[in-house]
Structure 1
Amino acid sequence: MVNPGAVVIVVYFLLQLLIYGVGVLHLDGSVVEATKTRMAIGLFANAGVALYVLHTVQTVRQRSIVLGMLSIGLTFECVVGLLQSFTGIDLRFLFQPPGFVLNLEETGFTERNGAFRVVGTSHHAIEFAVLAAVAVPLTLHLARYATKPLYRQCAAVGCLIAVFAMPAGGSRAGVVALAAALLTYMFAFTLRQIANGILVGIGAGLVYVVAAPASAYALWLTVVKANEDGSVLSRLADYSTVARTFHDHPWFGLGLGGNPPTVYGFLDNEWLQSIVQGGIVGFAAMLVVVGGTVAGLTAGLRTARSSRERDQAYAIGAALVGIIASSFTFDLFTYQQATFVYFVLFGLMWSSWRRDAGRR
């Protein structure tokens, strides 16, 4: 039987490929054409990695291994961010393989409300905060169900590192992602465990306020005074341009990668981004992949045969929901690390379906 998750990815891929094909029918400037090519390459890579994971990972142990490797990478990113925040040490420049070059125009840190916004190993502080939020449910799951005590202890440490790293990005998107992930993952716990978790969270928050008061205060202002934030106001001003673009190109938009920031700014909303780039078809592609995520979580819970499998499904689903929630506050698929993590987790979510479908 065909895995429904694979169908979702193929449909999403074909819709995006159609948008790309319509976009290349008209030539734009060199920057836009290069952006179209990069987006097309990313589309093939993202769909490919999701299908590869979906079809090659077949057991709970294999999923745990992939989650473990993913958690190690995310924890390393959080460690880099914390070092940037508290010591000024930037490990990004210490791991450059031979033959590779630095292709970022800006490698420094930005500032918000008087505090530096760290980026870890990401391209931007927003992406860093979202990835740190995603690391929390994944490491928490491993802290509960890893096979060896040492692995569980290391995962617990990784979870604490991710909790402390997320605020250093100074991003509302990270807060939204973490809240959505925890609200999803909480259904895997009892009321007593949830109450204990809230107390631990409050304690961790107080420790962070004492250890990094400037970053904590900056994040607080970012959330409570969002309606006065210049970045938010500038994005809202761009929405009229989005409306005009949709009026002129309602079905296929400007094409995949056809909206340079010099004209539209950074919309910081993947749904609006999909409308500008793909019109109605692009918006439908987003609905397909998001609907597939929700269906995958439901299928994973239905096929779970143990508390470990059930918790694993909730943890993966929580991470995916967190990323989806952040798509309303930043242009998700423009940032390759967050996009890659999303499609890997999508493949993991649906990888359990084939195992049970084959036993029926």
Structure 2
Amino acid sequence: MTSTSEAAAPAHHSAGRPVRRTRQPKTRVDPVTIVSFFLIVLFVMPARYVVGPLGGAGSPSSMVAVLLLVWYLLSALSPRWTPIRGRQPVRLVIVFMALAVLASYIAAATRPLSADEVNAADLGLVLVAGWAGIALVTADGISTMDRLETLRQRIVLGASFPAFVAMVQFFTGIEVTQYLALPGLVEKGSAVLFEREGFFRPAGTATHPIELGVVLAAVLPLALHGAIYCRIPEQRRKRWLMVALIAGALPMSVSRSAILGLFVVMVVLLPTWPSEWRLRAMLIFGAAAIVMRVLIPGLIGTVLNLVSVIGSDENSTTRTGDYDAVVEAVSQRPLFGQGFATYLPRVYRVIDNQYLMSALETGLVGLAALVVFLLAGWMLARRARRAAADAETRHLAQCLAASVAVAIFGFGTFDAFSFPMITNVMFLIVGCCGALWRLQTQTPHLSHEPLA
């Protein structure tokens, strides 16, 4: 009887008044998880496939990047969920660059524009919004060193995919990326592989071999860091395999920008390594060069020749010949330029130098914004290195500095903002530099929860 009445009590209670349900805590979305989805779209989906009406700004990676900015701004509206806590120089740098682009957009409206230039200027704003979203979410959203390490691993894993695709393209001559596009996307660019000196020049899932080579050079230091400091024996072989994949595909782009990027990585990293690491690196590098010379006769000689003739070959003289035209054009609109993304190669001329392109499109103010952006990444990584208390974190900071250094030199060899993969990667890396600086220099109570 007692048990029956006790069992009936809850039923009577529920009949008399509604049961009050406990509120479940809101699920929090980790920024690293969202950025990881962006990495999948960036590295796996071929960059030359876009949403037709949007052109260059319609690449899936650019659209996801814009959503990152929207998410960041909406989260900033709530005191509970806002990622904006403590100092973060990356925010100031991004605001400076955005204002420079907006000023150039307004300046463009003061001159006659063709329909193509108007569309390019509008879509350029979309691109900049996406770049800002990548950098801000990364710089402010990463809450711990563990999450930063997770993101580093996923960047390397993502870059390994276009490296693998590039190897397939190089050895077979088959453009396999035509089978990776989503239905409904439009191909922007050629699916035919480039050739140089009898070698196929693979682009992987990037839009051009130069872009692929510079991306791999920028990610290589991060891959080296993960392999050197891997503490799980079962994963060590996998991480060195990714290093070999990225480093091996890099010269297959047959690009001097890629080789110069590799040289920059060595210059930045080797002086900070212990002598035994440097010796081992030299031996491995020499052995790899010999193996590649045997397996792929002529490739090493071709890429070395590309570097040795810089300044005297037709390609170099053509680029230096752009200087006079650029100076004349910049002198007409020195402060804010003719408008971001409006210097169309089919209308004007090809400028294989992002610094010159920035001076043309966004003026001296925009050029200063670009230089400040790149130098900020370098300085934040170096300051994080000085503030770090352990060798592993110091090495990570130096590797991020090496990645930024690749961009500092590489942006002078091609118009990087015209290529989606390298631009997105560099804004992501600068965001990582800002996150590392914040985690190493600010007190623990300033660390914040993930974005909602």
Question: What TM-score range do you get, normalising by the shorter chain?
Answer: over 0.9
Query: Partner amino acid for 1:336?
Result: P
- 1:26-175 equivalent positions in 2, closer than 5 A: 26-99=111-184, 101-175=185-259
- Shift in CA distance, 224/357, structure 1 to aligned 2, threshold 3 Å: same
Q: Do structure 1's residue 347 and structure 2's residue 431 form an aligned pair?
A: yes
* Corresponding residue of 1:220: 304
Offset from partner CA, 1:306-357 (integer Å, 9 cap, x none) = 1121111111111111122101111112211001110111111111233331
Map 1:174-213 onto structure 2 (within 5 A). 174-213=258-297
Moved over 4 A (4+): none
Q: Which stretches in structure 2 are left out of the alignment for 5+ residues?
A: 1-85, 446-452
In 2, the alpha carbon distance for the partners of 1:98 and 1:148 equals 40
% identical aligned pairs: 25
> Structure 2 counterpart of 1:352, which letter?
L
1:270-309 map, 5 Å: 270-309=354-393
Structure 1 residue 179: Cα displacement: 1.1
**1:228 Cα shift?**
4.1
The worse-fitting range, judged by mean Cα deviation, of 179-188 and 240-249 is 179-188
Is the counterpart of residue 329 in structure 1 residue 396 in structure 2?
Answer: no
Number of residue pairs the alignment of both structures matches: 359
Secondary structure of 1:213's match? Answer: coil
Provide structure 1 residue ranges, at least 5 long, that are not aligned to the other structure.
none
**Quick one: structure 1 residues 240 and 157, their matched pair in 2 at CA, closer, same or farther if it must change by over 3 Å?**
same
User: Mapping of 1:209-248 within 5 angstroms?
Assistant: 209-248=293-332
CA contact (8 A) 1:115 1:214 kept: no
Distance, in Å, in 1 between the alignment partners of 2:347 and 2:319 is 12
Across the aligned residues of Structure 1 and Structure 2, the Cα RMSD in angstroms comes to: 1.8
Deviations 1:74-99 (A, max 9, x none): 11111111110112343312222233
Shift of residue 147, structure 1, vs aligned partner: 4.7
Q: Is the 8 A contact 1:114 1:214 kept in 2?
A: no
Task: Name the residue aligned to 2:104.
Answer: 19
SS at match of 1:51: helix
Give, in angstroms, the shift of residue 55 of structure 1.
1.0
The answer (yes or no) to whether the contact 2:173–2:200 under 8 Å persists in 1 is no
Q: TM-score, normalised by structure 2?
A: 0.76
| Whole-angstrom distance in 1 between the partners of 2:223 and 2:180 | 24
| Between structures 1 and 2, the one with greater helix share | 1
**Cα pair 1:50 1:347 within 8 Å, conserved:** yes
Deviates more, 1:348-357 or 1:336-345: 348-357
Q: Which residue of 1 aligns with 2:50?
A: none
119-128 or 298-307: bigger deviation? 298-307
- Aligned amino acid, residue 22 of structure 1: A
- Displacement of 1:8: 1.8
Alignment check: 8 A CA contact 2:351 2:415 kept: yes
C-alpha distance in 2, partners of 1:46/1:170? 28
Task: Report the TM-score, using the length of structure 1 for normalisation.
Answer: 0.94
1:257 corresponds to: 341
What is the CA deviation profile of residues 97-145 of structure 1, one whole-angstrom value per residue up to 9, with x for unaligned ones?
A: 233x242231112222332211111101100111121232111111022
The amino acid of 2:372's aligned partner reads V
Separation (CA, whole Å) in 2 of partners of 1:261 and 1:284: 23
8 Å CA contact 2:382, 2:401 repeated in 1: no
Q: Which amino acid in 2 is paired with 1:80?
A: V
